[in-house]
Structure 1
Amino acid sequence: MSWVTKTLSSTLGRKLLMALTGLFLILFLVVHLAGNLQLLLPDNGKSFNLYAESMATNPLIRIVSIGNFAFIILHVIYSILLTQLNKKSRPIGYVESAASTNSTWSSRNMGILGTIILLFLLVHLKGFYYEIKFGEMPMVDIAGVTYKNVFAIVAAAYSNVLYVAFYVLCMGFLAFHLSHGFASAFQTLGLNHVKYSPLIQKVGIGFSILVPVLFALIPIVMYIQSL
């Protein structure tokens, strides 16, 4: 067994991989949010459709997308393994009330939060990625060039109040997940210090609120515009 296999199969190795994939996914959220905010520009979807076209045709972006899917799968797998390991390591007669005084609700329910977010991703991918790649797409002319009208697909989805409510609710769960995962990733990587840890925690809390709120704002605004 090589040192790589030994490391990845150890508890520490699993936690390190969880932290690294988590930080990558946090970075992906920022990039994805920046692209999605173009949905709110008052240009009838022109900017977003051009953005979607570049995302679909740029070789580097396609490679990163494949890596992103791989990191999501790894993050999920190792979170399940660590959750099972933590359950086995608890002594008999573990008192739940004691745990609640020493940890936050989000830290004790990361597995549940992660499962909900995974379900959201599957629904989200089915409604957008799958339809864009394999469904019949409306087309739009931009400066004499024909593009897939991805904006129209998104606008149609966000005109459904039930989907908007589901999206906003899941962003709430994402906020709780990030509120613990952000600082935890830095701590796992050993990037914690009595001087800097409070700042990292504050940045993590700000990030866990701002990013999900902005994501949730997009379908809310587009739904209001569709009325």
Structure 2
Amino acid sequence: MVLKYSSITKKIIMALAGLFLISFLIVHLSINLLILKNDGREAFNLAAHFMVTNPLIQTMQWVLFGGFIIHILVGVVLQIQNWMARPTRYKVEGYSHTSFFSKFMIHTGAIILAFLILHLINFFFRAKFGEMPGVMIGDKHYEDMGLLVIEKFKNLPYVLMYIFWLLFLGFHLDHAFHSAIQSLGLNHNKYTPVVFGISRALAILIAGGFILIPLIIYIS
């Protein structure tokens, strides 16, 4: 149904889905950083338990899944349409910004998707359907999701692959935020440079924050 809309409508839908996914990454990063807290993984495990047991969060998982599917499908369709049409680019009078990776969003997106599937297999599906080690917090028993994370990030090949993936995520985000703002028609000569700056900052903070986690765990 979405794929039948006009190109402008599809770009708006993709922009909204992309901004939603960026907000998810910020929340996900804030939770993951708890693994670095020196409390025996207690805060991280409590947060992980809340995420997998709270009904609202469980409902939002399906919304998130839908956001991913929409973002991927619309992105692929728009890319195919761009390949088939005469090459055109966004142009804002008085300000030009074209990064190398902005030309390869579909390629970085494919790399991100491939590793995301592996990431889900190693963590999400393992926690959801596999056997997990347990840990006592207070007088209650919880699944020790933190131990699984630490075991994975003590494996150098996985750490390197994870960092490689996150670099591409950063490159993707560097273009994604300002492109979404532009697709929503919010670009203006006065604040477009600021939007580009925010986009770059988000890319560095999100990708850098996620990279920090396996690095600290591996060397500690």
TM-score (norm 1): 0.90
Per the alignment, residue 50 of structure 1 pairs with 46
Q: What are the residue-to-residue correspondences of 1:189-204 with 2, within 5 Å?
A: 189-204=184-199
2:132 pairs, out of 134, 137, 140, with 137
Alpha-carbon offset, residue 6 of structure 1:
8.1
Task: Measure, in 2, the Cα distance between the counterparts of 1:30 and 1:198.
Answer: 22
Q: Give the secondary structure class of the aligned counterpart of 2:195.
A: helix
1:73 maps onto 2:90 in alignment = no
1:63 maps onto 2:59 in alignment = yes
**How many residues are treated as equivalent by the alignment?**
213
Per the alignment, residue 123 of structure 1 pairs with 118
Q: Give the secondary structure class of the aligned counterpart of 1:74.
A: helix
Task: Measure, in 1, the Cα distance between the counterparts of 2:204 and 2:133.
Answer: 35
Alpha-carbon offset, residue 152 of structure 1:
0.7
Alpha-carbon offset, residue 65 of structure 1:
1.2
Task: Measure, in 2, the Cα distance between the counterparts of 1:213 and 1:9.
Answer: 36
1:106 maps onto 2:89 in alignment = no
Deviation per CA, 1:50-87: give whole Å up to 9, x if none: 00000011111111111111101111111110110000
Deviation per CA, 1:1-30: give whole Å up to 9, x if none: xxxx58952111111111000000000010
**Alpha carbons 2:3, 2:77 under 8 Å: kept:** no
Q: Give the secondary structure class of the aligned counterpart of 2:142.
A: strand
Task: Measure, in 1, the Cα distance between the counterparts of 2:68 and 2:14.
Answer: 10
Instruction: Give the fraction of aligned pairs with identical amino acids, expressed as a percent.
Output: 41
Task: Measure, in 2, the Cα distance between the counterparts of 1:15 and 1:124.
Answer: 28
1:169 maps onto 2:172 in alignment = no
Segments of structure 1 that go 5 or more residues without pairing to the other structure are: 95-100
Alpha-carbon offset, residue 210 of structure 1:
1.4
Task: Measure, in 2, the Cα distance between the counterparts of 1:6 and 1:54.
Answer: 33
Q: What are the residue-to-residue correspondences of 1:15-30 with 2, within 5 Å?
A: 15-30=11-26
Q: Give the secondary structure class of the aligned counterpart of 1:33.
A: helix
Aligned partner of 1:23: which letter? Answer: L
Aligned partner of 1:49: which letter? Answer: N
Q: Give the secondary structure class of the aligned counterpart of 2:141.
A: strand
Q: Give the secondary structure class of the aligned counterpart of 1:190.
A: coil
1:209 pairs, out of 192, 195, 204, with 204
Aligned partner of 1:36: which letter? Answer: N
Deviation per CA, 1:194-216: give whole Å up to 9, x if none: 22211111111111111101100
Task: Measure, in 2, the Cα distance between the counterparts of 1:151 and 1:10.
Answer: 45
1:88 maps onto 2:78 in alignment = no
TM-score (norm 2): 0.93
